[in-house]
Amino acid sequence: MTDDDFTVTPYAVQGDVDYERVLDQFGADELTEAERERFPEPLHPLIKRGIFYGGRDVEAYLDAIDEDEQVSIVTGRGPSGPMHIGHVFPLYLAKYLQDRTGAHVYIPISDDEKYFAKDQDFDDIQGWAKDNITEIMAVGFDPEKTRIVVDSADADVIYPWAAKFAKRYTQSTVNATYGDPDNVGLSFYPAVQATHLLLPQLVHGRHRTIVPIAVDQDPHIRLCRDVAAKEDYDVHKPSALLSRFFPQLKGDGGKMSSSDQNPTIYLSDDRETVREKIQTYAFSGGQTSLEEHREKGGDPDVDVAYQLLYYFFEEDDAKVEELAAEYRSGELLTGELKNYAADKVSDFLEQHQERKAALGDFHEEISEYTLTDEERATLTEDLLY
């Protein structure tokens, strides 16, 4: 959608986003307090604090969990650069759900889409795909229940299904959803995305699937749900869990990105680099002088260091509330809040980096996450050869 004040599409996010208006325009539902409380205990901060704030058919997914039925999660990555902290929070949410429900997790790597959408060589995209997959494996998913599917490498199973789904899309529908595509690759990509989102059911049979994703990606889900409703295949329409955008360091309501010139915290950053970036670039909700800050206090609602903690990096609810209260009162200074946030982000990154360093040979590691021969046979059983 494009508003006078902001833009939210799968390929562009600009301005100070009105999240409630986005849900209304997309026709999605706000996540209720009752729904949040039904997620597995202990509630993840991303759920409890309303970072994931909207969705589609969330109740049906939670019902399946309550009935101890098989469930799945789909959350992907478009590899066009190094991964930053905003890329991984849906992945860590997926791991949390997998740990508590035994869910299958499918992680499509859309190297083809990034090649269509970005001014990069295909070899560069492939290099980033390998790098990004390594970061994903470092999250610590259960290899037996996790499948990483790369569009170019797994075209033999992706393309036949995408071709079937593509016939259900019209160019006018694609144009109305995404705008005029720059090339035929992007015109076709919604059919590939539908394959991604339905893949767990195509492999394991009809069951509930949820897609934790930033709200700008909801059009992919919406079109897939339309196709799933029309097809003769025995599948549920995938549920969606829609998040707010991870705050960019400079503030202003946009989302963190690795494809522009704004400062970003990457998964590879060391402690000193994280501290320097947060101290230098993180938008402050404090006052312009020490005396004024002590007198008037700061605003945690716009302070990016606080937002990083609230979104993901401080699990202790009491500590989050304490930091906000002390900042508002002027007792906690902006520099002190930034130092605390830098330490928490660095602690998280060091643990992630340790798991990444412990991985072995890439080809041996990725083989644990690829589709099995039996799963591939299920997906291709109707093919000519």
Q: What is the domain extent for residue 283?
A: 271-357
Share above pLDDT 70 across residues of the chain, in percent, rounded to a whole number: 92
Query: Are residues 179 and 117 part of one domain?
Result: yes
Return the SS3 of 52: strand
Structure confidence at residue 101 as a pLDDT band (50, 70, 90): very high
Query: Are residues 53 and 169 part of one domain?
Result: yes
Query: Are residues 199 and 77 part of one domain?
Result: yes
How confident is the model at residue 196, as a pLDDT?
97
Residue 260 lies in a domain: no
Number of domains making up the chain:
2
Residue 364 lies in a domain: no
Per-residue pLDDT, averaged over 162-168, amounts to 93
Return d(Cα 134, Cα 297) in angstroms, integer. 43
pLDDT digits (tens, 9 = 90+) for 103-151: 999 999 999 999 999 989 999 999 999 999 999 999 999 999 999 999 9
Structure confidence at residue 23 as a pLDDT band (50, 70, 90): confident
Query: Are residues 138 and 13 part of one domain?
Result: yes
Per-residue pLDDT, averaged over 295-317, amounts to 96
Structure confidence at residue 22 as a pLDDT band (50, 70, 90): confident
* Alpha carbons within 13 A on the beta-carbon side of 251: 15
Please report, for the domain that includes residue 315, its CATH number.
1.10.240.10
Query: Are residues 277 and 153 part of one domain?
Result: no
Residue 1 lies in a domain: no
Structure confidence at residue 252 as a pLDDT band (50, 70, 90): low
How confident is the model at residue 258, as a pLDDT?
54
Beta bridge partners of 149: 108
pLDDT digits (tens, 9 = 90+) for 192-249: 999 999 999 999 999 999 999 988 888 889 999 988 887 677 899 999 999 998 888 9
Residue 125 lies in a domain: yes
Residue 371 lies in a domain: no
Query: Are residues 28 and 177 part of one domain?
Result: yes
Residue 253 lies in a domain: no
Query: Are residues 209 and 86 part of one domain?
Result: yes
Going through the chain in order, the beta strands assigned E by DSSP cover 6-9, 12-15, 29-30, 52-56, 71-74, 104-109, 146-150, 208-214, 239-243
Residue pair 86/255 in contact (Cβ under 8 Å)? The answer is yes
How confident is the model at residue 215, as a pLDDT?
86
Query: Of 227, 243, 259, which one is at a domain's C-terminal end?
Result: 243
Query: Are residues 220 and 170 part of one domain?
Result: yes
DSSP label of 217: G
* Burial track 103-120 (b if 16+ CB lie within 10 A, e otherwise): bbbbbbbbbbbbbbbbeb
Please report, for the domain that includes residue 169, its CATH number.
3.40.50.620
Query: Are residues 116 and 22 part of one domain?
Result: yes
How confident is the model at residue 1, as a pLDDT?
47
| Mean of per-residue pLDDT scores for the chain | 92
How confident is the model at residue 243, as a pLDDT?
94
What is the number of residues in the chain?
385
